[in-house]
Chains A and B, each alone.
Chain A
């Protein structure tokens, strides 16, 4: 199966290990992975600030890099949420519509498309708190949100449960936003930091050694908060654990 890999700008710059784990994991699972070298960003930072005009260039570049692939996979829920639900700064041609339908976040790709049954190489004997980012939880419907009355489901937990030795802990507010929110984290610094401090404290109280998420941006924010509070918490992207990271 041929897959185009999208490594969003901030993962490229700050979390290359997440891109590497995603690439290796997809390859282990038998995918032929193509990484278009001229990619940058999906346009979300501008679009989330209402700046459609300013997002158009990045979106057009994204189309040039990724159209024509049957599967576009990225290790970032919020970026895929943007592509799928808000990628409107460029003209909505058939090509663009197709591309938006073909974009998958890694967890849903593994869960829904590849239907992976086992990660025999993965072992992670640690207490893990799962952070469902808002874009993946409510935007991509990775899992049941606590507000909605419906049977429980969780795609990331389904996948992580197949990892040897892993143990889960549940914070009091499992799906409360951590307060990152893109530029919100800067323009609403007080609220953002307060939310982040509460979030990591909640995980710590629940006994987490690691906070794991399908979104590196939330992890970046929470890591900054935990370090400032002096909490002994470690942070890892779900792709790293599924790819067999050991610590």
Chain B
């Protein structure tokens, strides 16, 4: 069955219809962007750090097999068990196996985009495992049965009144009380018993260090540490691109991660998980799920450098107006726009067009991914593979023909259409009315520049 294309424009206009939500969303994320600017400006070597981070990641990705093997060797030597998952299904089955082998029925987990990508929670829940998200915003999304809308601040599209409604409906708090302290405390009281009773804990990974075989997780709530250290079983799900060679490389990334993400110098907790506590188990699942294939794509492989800081989303004027859920994918915003098509070209073929190619994303990216250039490149791939919407393709063919011919062009702009008060259709292609719904239509002048030039300066050829 052919997958339906995500209609970003349509979903975005639904989000924008709530003026209160879109204004808050835009303001909140712009605030993060401003804080990020202050932090980056306060570090004289910021651009040097970006160059270093990019170089370390490119080096690692071009020697990935070696570093993965080194990581595995060291992790096993530390007493962890290492699993390899080729795709999402295999990842989920491995996790289920680990849980079943220990008879674990409850899993407390920290935020992990990889497990979202694998659709793990519904998979486990269908098979009798209770999964509890322990990150506050991720828990809000879980209770509201919605995916995260942002990779760092998953419920940023919700007002606190929305959260009060969700909690009122699901954990029995007062739906009219939207005091953030009340809501956070309610969530804490609701979640803590699960920590205490959980039979297994899970985290993703911000980094996996080959030299030490350890997992590094950065959080602000300490929930990952509780998820790891309370239950007798710990599982880390790690995308293979999260590898870095040495502990000393970490400094470069840790200095930039939270500054880029939230504009704060560092996360509250930067935790290194190296070996299981005595009497417990530690499992690491290394997941490919399309990453090797992406690594082989000449124009797109550097997207694997991403450290998931979300800076590109915060700075993206389109993301800020449309909200993360409008992308219909695990990864939204600029970084999503360049990796989603690797999961399904057809389904996500509209996403690279949900951009003005303004390039701000590439400028904030701490690992210097040329995001907007990859967006541009994806458009070519989508057109080449016949995935452009029919009307757009037709319009481009018509425009290409007119603009390739001085005669046709002159007929179009100097003829009747230019004299009318409307833009010539060939310049607006399709959705002709779209311009005028929220903007005034420009009035075409009496003569073109060319006509003026011939009259005042030259002779017709």
Residues of A within 8 A of B (CB): 7, 9-20, 23, 35, 37-41, 43, 45-46, 48-58, 60-61, 86, 134-135, 137-139, 145-150, 173, 175-177, 179-198, 220-221, 223-225, 227-228
Contacts and interface: CB of A to CB of B under 8 A. Distances in A.
A147 B358 contact: no
Given A13-B444, A48-B357, A187-B434, 9 more contacts: A7-B449, A16-B451, A35-B458, A50-B352, A53-B383, A138-B359, A188-B12, A188-B318, A224-B439
Contact of B353 (A13, A53, A60, A188): A188
**Interface on chain B toward A: helix, strand, loop, or mixed SS?**
helix
Contact of A187 (B378, B431, B441, B449): B431
Interface string B351-380: 011111111101110000000100010111
Interface of B: 8-9, 12-13, 16, 22, 26, 30, 37, 40-41, 43-44, 46-47, 315, 317-318, 321-322, 352-360, 362-364, 372, 376, 378-384, 388, 392-393, 396-397, 399-406, 409, 413, 418, 423-424, 427-431, 434-435, 437-442, 444-445, 447-454, 457-458, 460-461
Given A50-B380, A195-B321, A228-B439, A12 B364 contact: no
Most buried by B among A11, A53, A150: A53
16 contacts: A9-B409, A16-B448, A37-B454, A40-B406, A50-B388, A51-B383, A51-B396, A51-B400, A58-B404, A179-B356, A181-B358, A183-B429, A184-B355, A185-B435, A188-B354, A223-B442
A50 B383 contact: yes
A191 B298 CA distance: 31
A35 B13 CA distance: 43
B419 to A, nearest CB: 11
A149 B322 CA distance: 28
B363 A138 contact: yes
A13 B358 contact: no
Contacts of B424: 13
Contacts of B404: 40, 56-58, 60-61
A180 B356 contact: yes
Contacts of A86: 376
A54 B395 CA distance: 10
Contact of A177 (B352, B358, B430, B434): B358
A56 B461 CA distance: 24
Cβ-closest 5 pairs across A and B: A57-B404, A181-B356, A224-B439, A50-B379, A54-B400
Given A189-B437, A193-B438, A194-B321, A40 B427 contact: no
Contacts of B406: 37-40, 61
B12 A190 contact: yes
A16 B414 CA distance: 12
Nearest to A181: B356
A134 B403 contact: no
A50 B438 contact: no
B386 to A, nearest CB: 11
A22 B460 CA distance: 20
A135 to B, nearest CB: 8
Contacts of A177: 317, 356, 358, 360
A185 B357 CA distance: 12
Contacts of A20: 449, 452
Contacts of A220: 442
A149 B401 contact: no
A138 B373 CA distance: 12
B136 to A, nearest CB: 29
Contacts of B458: 35, 37
A191 B363 contact: no
Most buried by B among A14, A41, A48: A14
B438 A189 contact: yes
Contact of B360 (A16, A145, A221): A145
B360 A188 contact: no
B427 A186 contact: no
A61 B410 CA distance: 14
Most buried by A among B359, B444, B449: B449
A223 B41 CA distance: 33
Most buried by A among B321, B405, B428: B321
A103 B237 CA distance: 50
B365 to A, nearest CB: 9
A180 B180 CA distance: 37
B427 to A, nearest CB: 6
Contacts of A227: 439-440
B427 A188 contact: no
B353 A184 contact: yes
A41 to B, nearest CB: 4
A66 to B, nearest CB: 13
B440 A14 contact: no
Given A14-B444, A57-B400, A190-B13, A196 B8 contact: no
